[in-house]
């Protein structure tokens, strides 16, 4: 039998069809949503992400502005560019592709982005708003995961939710979104004792640590919903997640594939935030 597959690619496609209609309506009111993406250096993974973001913009009719900077660009030059984009009326969302080169202070860069153009929801103001349950933008990967969980038909309320990984991008904001839907949340990390036992309690398990196939099928509670955020390339060039898909599929009720699960949803949510930003900035 095996788990049902939570197809992020298909769900993202449906979301983008809706967004395209919204963008067409905005254009009738002479509002042309625009997203600026800044990439520093030539990291191949970052380049792949930036290209897929540009493609998604094209699919829904959002104008894409790309700024490719040299890896040695001075920090103040990058921040100056962000300030210019903050003031540019054509641009509703600003995204700086992470990670940045070592000589650039990530925190400073995120702080420079106008809160209402922070479509990644990384600015401390947006993080704080999420924390108190009054968000403007939801962080893209966690909100994409919430849509996938909803698609699985599982109601988060009262469920044991276990998150493996405590990053600012996935683990922490994920816990807030699950709490907002009345889940009981446990976060595991490198110092967690008996991590396998904790995972076995999970009705909903979200794994985001970047360790290839760390979570095995026998770590799962039978019938769990498993969301695999990891994307790792094995020596044989095969892409795998943080969950061992083959064994997990036999135990779970629903599971995301890698690739084609969380990734496409992250980009769909970024597009949703960009459209929302355009509306907010036009007082709609």
Cβ count near 24 (within 10 Å): 11
DSSP string, 106-138: HHHHHHHS-GGG-TT--SHHHHHHHHTT--SS-
Q: Which of 16, 53, 172, 221 is the catalytic position?
A: 53
- For this structure, is 53 an active site residue? yes
Instruction: Please say if 117 is a catalytic residue.
Output: no
Q: Clarify whether 27 is annotated catalytic.
A: no
Q: Which of 120, 203, 228, 242 is catalytic?
A: 120
Strand 232-233 relative to strand 239-240, pairing = antiparallel
197, 186 Cβ separation under 8 angstroms: no
CA distance 127 to 93: 16
* Inter-residue contact 213 to 244 (CB < 8 Å): yes
Residues 6+ apart with CB under 8 A from 189: 164, 165, 166, 171
Q: Which candidate in 16, 97, 114, 172 is catalytic? A: 97
164 by DSSP, 3-state: which? strand
**Burial environment of residue 56 by CB neighbours within 10 A (0 to 12, 13 to 18, 19 or more):** buried
**First-to-last C-alpha distance (Å) of the chain:** 48
Which of the residues are catalytic?
53, 97, 120
């Amino acid at each position: 039998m095996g788990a049902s597959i939570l197809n992020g690619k298909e769900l993202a496609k449906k979301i983008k069809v809706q967004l395209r209609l919204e963008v067409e309506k905005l254009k009738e009111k002479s509002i042309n949503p625009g997203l600026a993406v800044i990439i520093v250096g030539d990291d191949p993974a970052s380049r792949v992400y930036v290209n897929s973001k540009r493609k998604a913009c094209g699919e829904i009719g959002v104008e894409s502005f790309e700024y490719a900077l040299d890896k040695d660009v001075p920090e103040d030059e990058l921040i100056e560019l962000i300030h210019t984009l903050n003031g540019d009326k054509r641009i509703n969302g600003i995204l700086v592709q992470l990670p940045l080169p070592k000589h650039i202070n990530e925190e400073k860069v995120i702080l420079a982005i106008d809160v209402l153009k922070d479509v990644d929801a990384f600015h401390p103001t947006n993080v704080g708003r999420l924390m108190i349950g009054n968000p403007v933008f939801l962080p893209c990967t966690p909100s994409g995961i919430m849509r996938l969980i909803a698609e699985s038909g599982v109601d988060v309320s009262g469920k044991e939710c276990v998150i493996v990984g405590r990053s600012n991008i996935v683990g922490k904001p994920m816990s807030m979104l699950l709490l907002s839907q009345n889940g009981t949340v446990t976060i595991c990390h490198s110092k967690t004792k008996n991590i396998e036992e904790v995972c076995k309690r999970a009705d909903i398990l979200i794994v985001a640590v970047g360790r290839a196939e760390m979570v095995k099928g026998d770590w799962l509670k039978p019938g769990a919903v498993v969301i695999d955020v990891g994307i790792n390339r094995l020596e044989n060039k095969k892409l795998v997640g943080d969950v061992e898909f083959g064994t997990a599929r036999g135990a779970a009720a629903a599971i995301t594939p890698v690739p084609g699960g969380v990734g496409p949803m992250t980009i769909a949510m970024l597009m949703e935030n960009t459209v929302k930003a355009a509306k907010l900035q036009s007082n709609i």
